[in-house]
Amino acid sequence: MRVLSGIQPTGRFHWGNYFGAIRQYIALQHEGDALYFIANLHALTTVRDAAQLQQNGLDAAIDLLALGLDPNRATLFLQSDVPEVSELCWILMSGASFGLLERCHAYKDKVARGVKPGVGLFTYPVLMAADILAYDSNVVPVGEDQVQHIEVTRDLASSFNHQYGETLLLPTARLVSDAARVPGTDGQKMSKSYRNTLDIFADAKVQRKEIMGIQTDSRPMEQPKDPDTDHLFQLYSLFASNSDRDAMAARYWAGGFGYGDIKKSIADLSGDYFAEARAHRNEIAAAPQKVHEILQDGASRARAKASEVLLRVKNACGLRTLSPKS
């Protein structure tokens, strides 16, 4: 089994990134051939500062390594270091239906939130398809909001195969159930777009202040509350044991406690949960050359596979170089 996933370096990773994706990366690296890339080409649609994008890519690599990604078990690389993907993207784009891309809800949602509707954003699913197909990926772990893009990938691969013969492997999505369960500080899904995130590696004192300032309703202390509809309880559940969750839920139903109690518990538990990763990150960040070497080695391994797939595609569609007649 070959697992493939990417994560955009558009800012520091937050709890939603970890529980919605990164934690699964760490687990899946033990189950098969895992490739994880830092999607800096995708990030160009939103990050237009060169120095910032470069720093974000390095920070993303350090964060992933600190959280447990093992370069001896998984291939970690920068998306832009595998140019074969961009060439495959154009080949796929040349046969992509405008209507197929126009129906993608992620594009429509971002435009509705005021994001400038550029060509890069519109064709994002095709580059994502190239990312996946370039490595003969079998499994792609995604959140529910990305399932449609895997369907687009399968459509593009099927279309190519129908036109030129069986060439591209069709991947399957593995739904990450935790992805939709991480609310932000305002109760919406945690997302950089909503500016409601809690960063994994934020200063402990700063983060505690952010947690204590999370928005809540105005119900009185003595009133019973439903834990299943409360975003603070959802955040608490990310870190608490089953028995502690049950005990906290009972306190909700009984009433007589304020939201400040659970906020303090979230701050304490999350601080302990990420303490080891924070210490490890400081060690890794002190040796950036080692991080660059890991990324370069990962790109070399990724390119070997991507070159093989791209050659297969070019041979199929007539882009191979003709040998001179003897």
Identify whether the C-beta of residue 35 lies closer than 8 Å to the C-beta of residue 171. Answer: no
Contact 158, 166 (CB under 8 A): no
110 is catalytic: yes
Query: Tokens 């580059």, residue?
Result: 127
d(CA 176, CA 209): 30
Cα–Cα distance for residue pair 156/129, rounded to 1 Å: 8
In a 3-state reduction of DSSP, which class is residue 78? strand
Identify the CA nearest to 209 among candidates 159, 169, 149, 267.
267
Active-site residue (options: 108, 110, 209, 225)? 110
- Other Cβ atoms less than 10 A from the Cβ of 228: the count is 10
Question: Of residues 108, 116, 192, 225, which has the active-site annotation?
Answer: 192
DSSP H/E element including 257: none
Active site members: 110, 189, 192
